Chain A
Amino acid sequence: MAEPAVAITDLEQLKEGPALARLLDWNPGTVQGARFQYGELNVYIDCAHIRDACSLLKNDPELQFTFLSDITCVDWYPSEPRFEVVYHLLAMARKKRLRLKVKLAGDDPHLESVTSVWRGANFFEREIYDLFGVRFSGHPNLRRILMPEDWEGHPLRKDYPVEGYR
C-alpha cells in the first residue's frame, strides 16, 4: 500500500499558487491558513469575508472559479471552533478545483450567504441550515429543506444521536 500524501500546511510554501496569491494580494487578513493534500488546495477564509472572497475568485479573469460545485459542513464537536463550512469551487476553463473553508464557533453559528454570487447556493445553504443549524444571513429563503418544518434539532450535528430518542 502506498503511503498517503503528506499534507503541506505552511502558508509560505503555498502562497505562490495563483488562487492563494490573488487572495493574499487582495486582503492578507482573509486567509487564515492553507493546506495542500491529495492534490487539493484548501484555503481557510475568515468568516467575515467569505462572500467577498467567493466573489473575487469567481470574477477574477485569470482564476475563473465560475462554478460552485458544492457547499457542505463538518461538525467537529466538542472542539472549538466547532463548525467548518466547506465550499467546493470549480474553474471549468482551467480544470481546477479549490476548497474554501470557514470555521465557525458552536454558539450561534452564522455567516454571510453566497447566494448573491451563485444563485445555485440556495439549496445547499438551506440544507446546511436544516441539518447543522448554521444560519446564512442574506439568504432569500432560509427555511428547512429536508426535515419537516416543525422538526426540533439539527440531525447532522455530532451531539444528535444516530438512533433512539432525541
Chain B
Amino acid sequence: MALVPASTIDPKQDRTMILNMGPQHPSTHGVLRLVLEIDGETVVRMMPDIGYLHTGIEKTCEAKFYQQVVVLTDRIDYLCPLTNNLCYCLAVEKLLGLEIPTKAQWIRVLLNELSRVNSHLVWLGTHALDIGAMSVFLYCFREREDVLRIFEMVSGQRMMTSYFRIGGLALEPPLGFFERVKKFVDRFPAAIDEYEDLLTQNPIWVERTKGVAHLSGEDAIALGATGPTARASGIDWDLRRDMPYSSYEKFQFRVPVSNDGDVYARYLLRVDEMRESNKIVQQALAGMPEGPVKADAPKVVLPDREKMKTQMEALIYHFKIVTEGFSVPAGEYYQAVESPRGEMGYYVVSDGTAKPYRVHMRAASLANLQTLPKMCEGRLIADVVAAIGSIDIVLGDVDR
C-alpha cells in the first residue's frame, strides 16, 4: 500500500487530471485502488495501488506447524479455498514423499472443480452487476448457494473449508454426499443456459464488452498473465492438462481458448469452463474409486478416534502430531495448480523442522492485475469497470 505522491504522477499536459478510484469503489471487487490520469473521459495512465488487504500470511506460516498452515491457506484466495488447500498439501506431500490414495485424489478433483464453479459464479454475478445487468447476480448466487451447501456438508464450513489435509482428506465425505453432488451437476448445465440467455446475445452486454479492454497474447505472456485471462488471448495453456496433478490426467475435458482477447471473450471462456468443470465432476462421480481417504503415514496423518481409544501407538502419534508437529525433510518444492484465476503456485522451503522455513504463494491475481493498465490505457473510464471484472482478481490473493 503506498500513497502516490503527486510529484511522481507529473501530468504531461494541463488538460489531464488525476482521478482516484477505490479502494472502496464497489466495482473494484474488494480493496483495489486505481490512480487514473484522465483526459476528459479517456484514461491516459493507470496505476494500481494494492496492499489494503495485506495480512502477512507468508510471515505467519513460518510460525506455525505444517498442518496448521492449511487453515491459513483458505484465507488467501477466499473464492476457492479448496484449491489453495490442494496446492499447499501437494507441495508438502511431495517433500514428505507421501502417496495419496486414489479416492482422496478423485474427491480432491471433484471438490476442486466445484470450487472453480463457485468462483466463476461469483465472478459472473458481480461482473454483470458492475456492467449493469442486475438480475444475473441473483441467478448466479442461487447456484452458488447449492455449491456452498455441498462444501458445508463435506467440511462443516461454507467458505473456509480446510478440508484437504496433508496426507489426504480431513474425513470421509458424509452419507448422501455423492447423491447431492449428482443432483447439482445434473441441474447445473440448464442453469448455465439461463445465464447465457440473459447475457450472450444481449445487445447491451455485447456493446459493453465486445472489443473492450483488448489484451494480446504477447502482452499476456510478458506480463505474467495466466488462466482465463491468458487463454482468452490465445495462450493455450492449462496446468490441469499440461502438467497434471492429483489424477487430472485421468479426466477428459476440453480447454477453451479464444483469440479475441477482449472482455466478451473472457466472459464466454469462463462460461465454457463452468460447463467443462461440470463434466469433470460428472466423470469423478461416475468413476469414484473405493478405498481409504488418508495416506498410511501414522507420523503425519492424525489417527482415527476409534483407534486412539484402543491402541497406545495411535494415542502417542496423536499427541505428538498435535503438540510438536511432524518434521519435513529439508528441501524445497514449487507446486503449481490451475486455480480459477490461473497459475497458483506454492513454494515451500523446509529446513527439516516441524515448521516451514518459508512458504511463498504465487498469486495468479497479482500477476493478472499487471495486465490491467495495458487493457485500459487509451480507453474510457466506463471500460475500466468492465476490465476489472474481466480479469477476475481476488484482493485476498493479490495482497496475501
Contact = CB atoms under 8 A, between A and B. Distances in A.
Given A2-B97, A120-B367, A120-B370, A99 B334 contact: yes
Contacts of A119: 222-223, 370
Interface string A57-99: 0000000001111101011000000000010100010010101
- Size range of the interface on B? 35 or more
Contacts of A74: 349, 357-358
A90 to B, nearest CB: 8
B206 interface: no
Given A37-B331, A95-B243, A122-B370, A68 B94 contact: no
Contacts of A148: 1-3, 51
Interface stretch (A23-31, A46-54, A105-113, A138-146): A138-146
A26 B336 CA distance: 30
Contacts of B366: 123-124, 127
A69 B300 contact: no
Contacts, number: 117
B343 A69 contact: yes
Given A4-B329, A156-B58, A120 B97 contact: no
Given A3-B97, A67-B221, A120-B224, A72 B347 contact: yes
B94 A38 contact: yes
B362 A146 contact: no
Contacts of A144: 1-2, 51
B104 to A, nearest CB: 15
A40 interface: yes
B19 interface: no
A3 B59 CA distance: 29
B370 A70 contact: no
Interface in A112-131: 118-124, 127, 131
B51 A147 contact: yes
Contact of A4 (B51, B56, B99, B331): B331
Contact of B362 (A3, A70, A99, A118): A70
A2 B47 CA distance: 49
Interface in B331-378: 331-334, 336, 343, 345, 347, 349, 357-358, 360, 362, 366-367, 369-370
Given A2-B98, A162-B63, 18 more contacts: A1-B96, A40-B334, A69-B224, A69-B334, A69-B345, A70-B360, A72-B360, A74-B349, A119-B370, A120-B225, A123-B367, A124-B367, A147-B1, A148-B3, A149-B2, A156-B58, A156-B59, A160-B59
Closest 5 CB pairs of A and B: A120-B224, A70-B362, A146-B51, A2-B97, A4-B97
